[in-house]
Amino acid sequence: MTLLNPSVSIKNLDLSFGAVKVLQNLNLDIGDGEFLVLLGSSGCGKSTLLNVIAGLLEPTDGQIWIKGRNVTWAEPSERGIGMVFQSYALYPQMTVEGNLTFGLRNARVPKAEIAKRVARAAEILQIEPLLKRKPGALSGGQRQRVAIGRALVRDVEVFLFDEPLSNLDAKLRADLRVELKRLHNNLQNTMIYVTHDQVEAMTLADRIAIMKGGKIMQLGTPAEIYGKPQNLYVADFIGSPSMTFFDGTVEGDVIRIPDHDLPLGTYEFAQRPASVRPAIIGIRPEHVMTGDNLRSAPYKAEVIADLVEPMGSDTLVHCAFGGQTMRVRMDGQAQVRAGDRLMIGIDPGAASLFDKETEARL
Amino acid sequence: MADVGILAATKAAEQPVTALLDSPRGPKPVRRFSRSNIIIYGTLFVVALYYALPLYVMIVTSLKGMPEIRVGNIFAPPLEVTFQPWVKAWQEACTGINCDGLSRGFWNSFQILIPSVILSVAIASVNGYALSMWKFRGSEVFFTLLMIGAFIPYQVMLYPIVIMLREAGLYGSLTGLVLVHVAFGMPINTLLFRNYFASIPEELFKAARVDGAGFWAIFFRIMLPMSLPIFVVALIIQVTGIWNDFLFGVTFTSSPERYPMTVQLNNIVNSVQGVKEYNVNMAATLLTGLVPLVIYFASGKLFVRGIAAGAVKG
């Protein structure tokens, strides 16, 4: 997908530390006002990429364009970006106000203008009562608000977030996530957000780029990433608990997995294999049908519940199927105990099929 | 409803049983005079005495007159307290042809100390900051070379430095001595500052760069306000090191007029002519040791406060 008017554009980017290639020939266009999430496990290069966009790391090769300007050699402060860090990175000896205004004072912005912008940011983030305090006297959530405020007052085109919620506890994280989404809806700035938390990625993103080993494995909307993962890595990475994978062979309209032949009539092939081909089918726990939904299932089987994990809102059942331990997500109200027999239904139309050799989607 | 009397009786009977069942409960009782405590505090007391005794002898002797010292009881407190030895050590003691006491050496040392300490701490802090935050190609090699400098014995470099100072026209001057002190204080102080700045989260530095602060702005407005503890440590190391220095002082000053206090003290104490005035020697030694002592006492509190201030960083 090429965008006509990208806000941030990364062209043929390479970065290596000595012999280690951290980013390899990376191309990425981020639209104006888009919320893009870089998602990946640690060491995949997502934070490195963000640092290169910010100008805190020098690329080995390639270009960074922001708002139609080649900023590859520009200082971080000249790129029109604001950045929020995981550890907040507030200046400990300055008050909240000092933290907010530091960048503006460096840029010699007139005093009246500074006061106006601080007042606006403080109002948006509801930190007015904290302005005279030092960071040490703030809670984690308040500190992160101030850190966001520091990016906000700079009045920039692009916001960069480096795992901003990872240091907060679960409840606060959920609250601030919602606030960030609201902030994006109101400001309509371009935001690039690095995280390893797929819930954050799914809820916040307009588009997600899943990275592994310095490459983008898939770039797409949350629905595309979740529903039609382009390869085995993405399929395994997204979803919690993750898909159960079965080795098998595709023969015409059927995939043969141990003990079962699943019909593929409802499956939309991306590339239909010409002949008999070894393949992997991945089935999400929430796509296994039970109870009343069974009627519409193209394929039914009886299994024995092996282990039951009640989680309140829903219940996760482990059972033996097709030579694997399959995870089945059931309603939280379902009365299941280990050893119970239950009927399950599978719709391969909702499943994902991958080539065994290339691990690409079929 | 049960009879109150019976209830009370059963309660009382239960008491010893529950007390037994419950017995390890609440804070563990502390045994103040346990064997290990006696050993620890006993050892500490003996060691403290061992270190305090010489100081006691020096103070006591410096307050006695010579006749009393000749009696020979060095531990006895002075019968007649006199400050004459202190006055003599400061104003009248002779080294060579000068008979104006340690005061001359004191001012010499002072003139060496102030610029040396300010220069070396200032340069070392910027060094450490640059080496930890603004890594450049070869910065690690540079740092390693600087560290090697710390391990070469001073004696090896004395003669080359004499020649270098002579060629620069600085031999014998206090400026030359200051330069030598600054150079030799560099490795250890750079190491100190580098390690301290390396412990400051990198994200803070990145945030400041995004905020448009350059090399000096980050140093003065972000890093310096956070570094009081390490400055105090460097200050203590430099002040005591430079004040107590004897080797450089005796090598790089050419005339007795410019001798630092330590060299002058040595000349007073080791003079072979006339009567050994133990009381004057003791007073002179105490006077010379006063500056480091004052620094320790004054900055000790600052040091603790600095660490406490650093502990609540955001």
Answer yes or no: are the C-beta atoms of B287 and B89 closer than 8 Å.
yes
**Would you say residue A334 lies in a domain?**
yes
Quick check: B207 and A106 CB within 8 A? no
Structural domain contains residue A2: no
With 0-12 / 13-18 / 19 or more C-beta atoms within 10 angstroms meaning exposed / middle / buried, residue B55 is: exposed
With respect to residue A361, please indicate whether it lies within any of the assigned structural domains: no
A18 touches B at CB < 8 Å: no
Pair (A159, A196) in one structural domain: yes
**Choice between A319 and B302, residue whose per-residue pLDDT is larger:** A319
**A262 in the same domain as A183:** no
Q: Is A75 on the interface with B (CB under 8 A)?
A: yes
What local confidence, expressed as pLDDT, does residue A6 receive?
87
Cβ neighbours of A82 in B, within 8 Å: 210
Q: What is the spatial distance between Cα A15 and Cα A57, in angstroms, rounded to a whole number?
A: 9
- The verdict on a CB contact (< 8 Å) between B210 and A102 is no
Q: Assign domain B103-313 one CATH number from 3.20.20.80, 3.10.20.740, 3.40.50.300, 1.10.3720.10.
A: 1.10.3720.10
Judge whether residue A282 has pLDDT over 90.
yes
What pLDDT shows up at residue B17? 55
What is the structure's pLDDT at B311? 42
Q: Does B217 touch chain A (CB under 8 A)?
A: yes
CA pair distance B177, B153, nearest whole angstrom: 18
CB-based contact A102:B217 (threshold 8 Å): no
- Shared-domain flag, residues A18 and A159: yes
Same domain, A87 and A180: yes
Contacting residues of B for A76, CB less than 8 Å apart: 206, 209-210, 212
What are the residues facing A1 on neighbouring strands? none
Pick from A89, A106, A143: CB nearest B217 = A106
pTM listed for this prediction: 0.82
Q: What is the rounded CA–CA span in Å between residue B195 and residue A200?
A: 36
Q: Is A136 on the interface with B (CB under 8 A)?
A: yes
- How many structural domains is chain A composed of? 2
* Sign of the alpha-carbon torsion through B308, B309, B310, B314: positive
Counting one residue from chain A and one from chain B, the pairs whose CB atoms sit within 8 A come to 74
Whether A98 contacts A91, CB under 8 Å: yes
Comparing CB atoms, the residue among B207, B217, B225 nearest residue A83 is B207
> What residues in chain B have per-residue pLDDT under 50?
1-2, 309-314
Q: Is A111 in the same domain as A22?
A: yes
* pLDDT attached to residue B313: 39
Q: Do A75 and B212 touch (CB under 8 A)?
A: yes
What confidence tens digit (pLDDT) does each residue in A242-277 have? 999 999 999 888 899 988 999 988 888 888 888 888
Q: Is the pLDDT of residue A135 over 60?
A: yes
Q: Which residue has the higher pLDDT, B19 or A297?
A: A297
Domains of chain B, by residue range, sit at 103-313
Question: Among A197-201, A358-362, B29-33, which is the least confidently predicted range?
Answer: B29-33
What is the rounded average pLDDT for all residues in chain A? Answer: 91
pLDDT at site B312: 39
Contact status of B207 with chain A (Cβ, < 8 Å): yes
Residue A362, domain member (yes or no): no
User: Same structural domain for residues A264 and A200?
Assistant: no
Q: Do residue A53 and residue A95 come from a single domain?
A: yes
Which of A187, A202, A229 finishes a domain?
A229
Residue with tokens 């109870």: A291
- Kindly state whether B201 is in contact with chain A, defined as any CB-CB distance less than 8 angstroms: yes
Listed by number, the residues of chain B in 152-181 with a beta carbon closer than 8 Å to a beta carbon of chain A are none
Q: What percent of chain A has pLDDT over 90?
A: 69
A143 & A180 share domain: yes
CATH number for the domain that contains residue A190: 3.40.50.300
Residues A78 and A208 occupy one common structural domain: yes
Q: B139 exposed, middle or buried (CB, 10 Å; 0-12, 13-18, 19+)?
A: middle
Q: Which conformational region is residue B313 in: left (phi greater than 0), alpha (psi within -120 to 50 degrees), or beta?
A: beta
Q: Is residue A3 in some structural domain?
A: no
* Domain C-terminal end among A209, A229, A249: A229
Taking an 8 Å cut-off on Cβ atoms, the answer to whether B212 and A106 are in contact is: yes
Nearest-by-Cβ selection for B206 from A56, A75, A106: A56
Domain membership of residue A340 as a residue range: 237-355
Confidence at residue A206, expressed as pLDDT on a 0 to 100 scale: 94
Q: Is residue A360 part of a domain?
A: no
Task: Please give the order of strands across the beta sheet that includes A6-17.
Answer: A20-31, A6-17, A61-66, A69-70
Same domain, A149 and A206: yes
Question: A255 with A171, same domain?
Answer: no
Shared-domain flag, residues A210 and A250: no
Q: With H, G, I as helix, E, B as strand and everything else as coil, classify residue A306.
A: strand
pLDDT of residue B109: 93
> At which of A183, A211, A229 does a domain end?
A229
ipTM: 0.86
Residue of chain B minimizing CA distance to A104: B211
Q: Which residue out of A77, A87, A91 would a mutagenesis test of the B interface target, given it has the greatest number of B Cβ atoms within 10 Å?
A: A91
**Mean pLDDT to the nearest integer, A30-56:** 93
